[in-house]
Amino acid sequence: MGDTRAGLHRRVSLETPEHVKLEYQLADLGSRAAALALDLAIIVTAILLVALVFRYTGGLGQAVLYVVGFFAVWGYFLFFEAVWDGRTPGKRALGLRVLHDGGEPLSFQGSVLRNLIRIVDLQPGVTGMAGAASILLNRRAQRLGDLVAGTIVVRDAGGGEMFGEEAPTDGRAGRPRLSIEQFALVSGYVARRAGLEPDVRSRVAASVWDAVRAAVGRDGLDGLDSEAAPDTRLVRLHDDEAPRHAARQGGASLQAAAMARERREAWAAYTDLVEKGRAGGLDRFSEAEVRAFGRLYRGVTADLARARTYGASPGLLEAVERWAGAGHNLLYRAKGRAAVPLGRWIARELPRAVRRHHRPVLLAALLLFGPMLASYAAVRDRPARARAIMPAEMMARAESTARGDINASYIDVDGAARPALSSALMTNNVQVSFFAFAGGLLAGAGTVLILVLNGVMLGAGFGLYANNEVLGVILAFVFPHGVMELTAICLAGGAGLGLGSALLVPGRRTRRDALRERGRAFLSLVGGSVFLLIAAGLVEGFYSPSGLPAVAKFAFGGATALLLAAYFGFAGRGSDDDPRGKVRAAPAP
């Protein structure tokens, strides 16, 4: 793929497997900012409307609001980019589309990656300065999320009209026989011939004719005697070639217009199939339509090459190029969507990914549990330190908890409020896992900070309860969901550290290529983290605060730990494993 400039607009060109070059105009910062502003306005409006509807519906309504708010922020872009082929409502209004920088349609994994990294692009705060700087400085106008996902944002106003130009009736229409340099030579002679002496004219004409004779060919010029003088031949040749070269230099190409007329029916059939495929993919095609689409697509890519050769008008050339690109996107979207089924991903691919990337996961665990133990020891050594770390609400809760009763309630939650509690905890923890992954783009510093801070808070909380002689109460509450929750944070942290390693130790690859490769490789860990946090949120909202005895809660947590150990240690082993002992990578569903 190459990058070119047209006026103030950056362009990118790519070559399809059919060896046809497609060109796209890259979206500028202003249009992308406007599209984002429109999308954010839609998101905020949707959240406000849902809040108004569920404001007075109690705990269940609040639970719905938490979930809707989460999906509005994190799922809006992913949903629309998936169903509208790389376009959100904002991008669609501004005529923009997201593609992979190799020209392939945006994949699900690519959309997930670019939207997870958005939180880094919006820094500092929510100013978006990091992403804006990346777009301005990058020759492909890529924000940080685009770099990780391997995507670009291009202008895409639709297919356009392919057959609006009629072929001329001029019988001289055809491809020029002379090159631009040869035609300039003939034109120069014709322009000066009248001022030349007859003998000089004859000598110059003979010399010019010798220079262009091979281009004219053996058939010579229609209707002209083969014995005609070179001067006569050159005048006739100039009259024959002038309309062709004028068309190439100026407005609508005569040859391209003729091609448009000849190909009208084929183009109409092709555009009908593309529109049908856009609505439901190639799966909606019959066997005959699939064959017809392949034949017509090859024809349109050939027409695009001819249109460039003939010097087609900008409108026709752009329309053919866009429809060729639309067919390319449809064809390779169908080839590329070999998504792993969810059941297989859970049963095989996720545990394999954890085993494959166990080193960064273990490092993340060290960065979480190490500060946790240090913080616990510090608070136990000096209880006053807890007040500098823990919120006043938790201090009061620890001090008011009944001592000597491990079955005492850690937190009193009314049954009607538990759906809201579960949703709030679930969505908050999933967002933390997203931050832990995206923070890896800061050379791993963001991930390390999140892991260490969470470890410090957790250790200080345990130390606070231990100082008040009620450590068993908080452990009984945390243990049922904590095994899954802390495992999930380690998975997300490991993914973030893996992403950060692309900047610190890219190996033999460029940092750009390493970011893209490791972003996709570690995406399964993020998916696993989300899967565990959803389960942990349900347990934390409904089971952990229940009135069951502490022994039942410890038993539940212990069983969860054993199941997770068995799952990550043994699930997915079998005939599909690599014979050298390594497992093959597979993307998240």
For residues 271 and 324, the answer to whether their CB atoms sit within 8 Å is: no
| pLDDT of residue 585 exceeding 60 | no
Residues 483 and 388 in one domain: yes
Burial grade of 187 (CB within 10 A; 0-12, 13-18, 19 or more): middle
Residues 326 and 208 in one domain: no
Residues 377 and 331 in one domain: no
Residue 169: per-residue pLDDT: 40
Domain boundary among 121, 155, 189: 155
Sign of CA dihedral 494, 78, 516, 570: positive
| CA–centroid distance for 353 within its chain | 21
> Is 585 contained in some domain?
no
pLDDT digits (tens, 9 = 90+) for 204-249: 989 998 888 887 765 556 555 566 788 888 888 877 777 766 655 5
Residues 236 and 261 in one domain: no
Judged by average pLDDT, the poorest of 35-44, 86-95, 129-138, 256-265 is 256-265
For residues 387 and 399, the answer to whether their CB atoms sit within 8 Å is: no
> Is 286 contained in some domain?
yes
Mean pLDDT of the chain: 84
> Is 530 contained in some domain?
yes
Q: Which domain holds residue 557?
A: 342-401+424-570
How do beta strands 151-155 and 2-6 pair? unpaired
Residues 533 and 446 in one domain: yes
Residues 33 and 65 in one domain: yes
| pLDDT of residue 547 exceeding 60 | yes
> Is 417 contained in some domain?
no
More confident residue, 197 or 385: 385
Residues 436 and 463 in one domain: yes
Residues 478 and 393 in one domain: yes
Residue 515: per-residue pLDDT: 93
> Is 223 contained in some domain?
yes
> Is 577 contained in some domain?
no
> Is 56 contained in some domain?
yes
| CA–centroid distance for 232 within its chain | 63
Residues 366 and 484 in one domain: yes
Tell me the residue length of the chain.
589
Residue 310: per-residue pLDDT: 73
Question: Which string of DSSP letters, residue by residue, matches 344-404?
Answer: HIIIIIHHHHHHHTHHHHHHHHHHHHHHHHHHHHHHHH-TTHHHHHS-HHHHHHHHHSPTT
pLDDT digits (tens, 9 = 90+) for 153-212: 988 755 555 554 444 444 444 677 788 788 888 878 887 777 678 888 888 989 998 888
Residues 221 and 301 in one domain: no
Domain boundary among 198, 224, 249: 249
Token output for 371: 């500060």
Token output for 210: 């010798």
Residues 46 and 62 in one domain: yes
> Is 69 contained in some domain?
yes
- Mean local confidence (pLDDT), 263-267: 87
Residues 34 and 106 in one domain: yes
Total structural domains within the chain: 4
